[in-house]
């Protein structure tokens, strides 16, 4: 079923993916007047270690992370999360609401900065820890550069710092897609097989997870709320993302990150470049990386064995130092 609130936002609540108790759901406006859906969960009983700010990858939505949110709360954290502009329950930016679109990658920084000021600071207990996946991981790296004091530590799952098997470098791909956008093709969809919306038929050989039950949770949620679905990215989104990844490949980029940071790379990732994550991790002054054996791209949605490795790394880097 769907939780329905005629005066505001809602979360999908279904038997296979129930909403964790204690949720507060709402909308907030960014500094450039985009409406984003957010949700907060207080800590459970016992010790309090701060607040996890959880930011998603492309196509994702709050409901996908209910199990992970519960895992963080059991560790003594409050959790705050939101849907990026152009996806989930937040404002869509172009007429075709099923396509992934953003004008500039810096707009994701506006989303996060607005969330920090409007929701985290007034409503959530510090210290604040940023946890980002994939596209959200790349946005988190820019947050680390733009404001060293916003988060105490950053933990990333398969950050989108580069893509393998492209005909050109990220810089070259950015130039091509920027040119196509300039020619008026910014809202034209592009994509690859990996960008197909999830369904019962797409699990075999999928690049995201080896866990069927966790995969099907997303399928079940989107059946209840098809409006949460995002399909292929547009050329404009690709231009924004490729440009951001090209900047992340510059020689001076690692030295600009001055916050303690841990990146996890998935050994079997075919969505983002594991080797690029490793290279970036080796060049950071305040960060490092780990490669999770056997993992596909969505490590928080993976098998218990993979998730066990992910949370062991999280506990060593975040939980134990926050006691």
Give the three-state DSSP class for 155: strand
> pLDDT-derived band of residue 6, with 50, 70 and 90 as boundaries?
very low
Average pLDDT over residues 99-120: 97
Long-range contacts made by residues 91-97, C-beta under 8 angstroms, separation at least 24?
Answer: 91/34, 91/35, 91/36, 93/34, 94/187, 94/234, 95/187, 96/187, 96/189, 97/227
Q: pLDDT (tens digit, 9 = 90+) per residue, 66-77?
A: 999 999 999 999
Average pLDDT over residues 45-59: 94
> pLDDT-derived band of residue 191, with 50, 70 and 90 as boundaries?
confident
Which residue, among 200, 199, 166, has the nearest Cα to 271 in the 3D structure? 166
Q: Give, for 287, the enclosing helix (H) or strand (E).
A: strand 287-292
- Confidence at residue 193, expressed as pLDDT on a 0 to 100 scale: 58
pLDDT of 21 over the 70 cut: yes
Which of the residue ranges 144-153, 185-194, 272-281, 284-293 would you say has the lowest mean pLDDT?
185-194
> pLDDT-derived band of residue 195, with 50, 70 and 90 as boundaries?
low
Average pLDDT over residues 51-71: 98
Give the three-state DSSP class for 142: helix
Report the greatest alpha carbon distance in the chain.
Answer: 57
> pLDDT-derived band of residue 192, with 50, 70 and 90 as boundaries?
low
DSSP per residue, 29-80? E-TTS-EEEEEEE---SS---EEEEEE--TT--GGGGHHHHHHHHHTTEEEE
Alpha carbon dihedral 82, 84, 89, 90, in 10-degree steps, equals: 110
> pLDDT-derived band of residue 1, with 50, 70 and 90 as boundaries?
very low
Average pLDDT over residues 314-319: 94
- Confidence at residue 3, expressed as pLDDT on a 0 to 100 scale: 39
- Confidence at residue 45, expressed as pLDDT on a 0 to 100 scale: 84
Average pLDDT over residues 25-50: 95
Tell me the sheet residues that pair with 287: 261
Average pLDDT over residues 90-119: 97
Give the three-state DSSP class for 14: strand
Q: What's the whole-model pTM score?
A: 0.95
Higher pLDDT, 48 or 214: 214
pLDDT of 5 over the 50 cut: no
Question: Is the dihedral angle over the CA atoms 309, 291, 160, 263 positive or is it negative?
Answer: positive
Q: pLDDT (tens digit, 9 = 90+) per residue, 208-261?
A: 999 999 999 999 999 999 999 999 999 999 999 999 999 999 999 999 999 999
Domain residue extents for the chain: 24-322
- Residues near 157 by Cβ (< 8 Å), separated by ≥ 6? 131, 132, 133, 134, 137, 264, 298, 299, 300, 310
Average pLDDT over residues 142-153: 95
Architecture (CATH level 2) of domain 24-322: 3-Layer(aba) Sandwich (3.40)
H-helix segments, 233-322: 235-248, 274-283, 304-314
- Confidence at residue 4, expressed as pLDDT on a 0 to 100 scale: 38
Higher pLDDT, 59 or 45: 59
Q: pLDDT (tens digit, 9 = 90+) per residue, 199-210?
A: 889 999 999 999
């Amino acid at each position: 079923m769907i939780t329905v609130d005629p005066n505001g936002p809602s979360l999908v609540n279904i038997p296979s993916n129930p909403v964790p108790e204690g949720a507060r759901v709402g909308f907030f406006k960014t500094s450039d007047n985009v409406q984003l859906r957010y949700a907060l969960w207080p800590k459970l009983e016992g010790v309090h270690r701060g607040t996890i700010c959880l930011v998603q990858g492309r196509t994702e939505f709050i409901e996908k992370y209910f199990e992970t949110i519960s895992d963080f709360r059991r560790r003594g954290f409050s959790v705050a999360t939101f849907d990026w502009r152009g996806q989930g329950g937040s404002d869509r930016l172009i007429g075709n609401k099923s396509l992934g679109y953003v004008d500039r990658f810096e707009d994701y920084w506006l989303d996060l900065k607005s969330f920090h000021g409007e929701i985290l600071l007034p409503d959530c207990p510090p210290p604040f820890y940023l946890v980002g996946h994939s596209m959200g991981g790349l946005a988190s790296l820019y947050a680390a550069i733009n404001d060293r004091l916003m988060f105490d530590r950053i933990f990333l799952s398969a950050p989108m710092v580069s893509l393998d098997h492209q005909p050109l470098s990220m810089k070259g791909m950015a130039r091509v897609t920027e040119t196509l956008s300039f020619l008026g093709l910014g809202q034209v969809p592009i994509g690859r097989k990996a960008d197909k919306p999830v369904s019962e038929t797409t699990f075999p050989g999928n690049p995201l997870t080896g866990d069927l039950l966790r995969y099907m949770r997303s399928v079940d949620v989107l059946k209840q709320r098809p409006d949460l679905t995002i399909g292929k990215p547009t050329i404009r989104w690709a231009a924004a993302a490729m440009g951001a990844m090209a900047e992340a490949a510059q020689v001076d980029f690692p030295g600009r990150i001055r916050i303690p940071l841990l990146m996890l790379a998935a050994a079997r990732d075919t969505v983002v470049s594991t080797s690029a994550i490793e290279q970036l991790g080796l060049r950071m002054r305040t960060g490092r990386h780990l490669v999770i054996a056997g993992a596909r791209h969505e490590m928080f949605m993976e098998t218990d064995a993979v998730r066990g490795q992910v949370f062991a790394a999280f506990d060593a880097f975040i939980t134990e130092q926050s006691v």
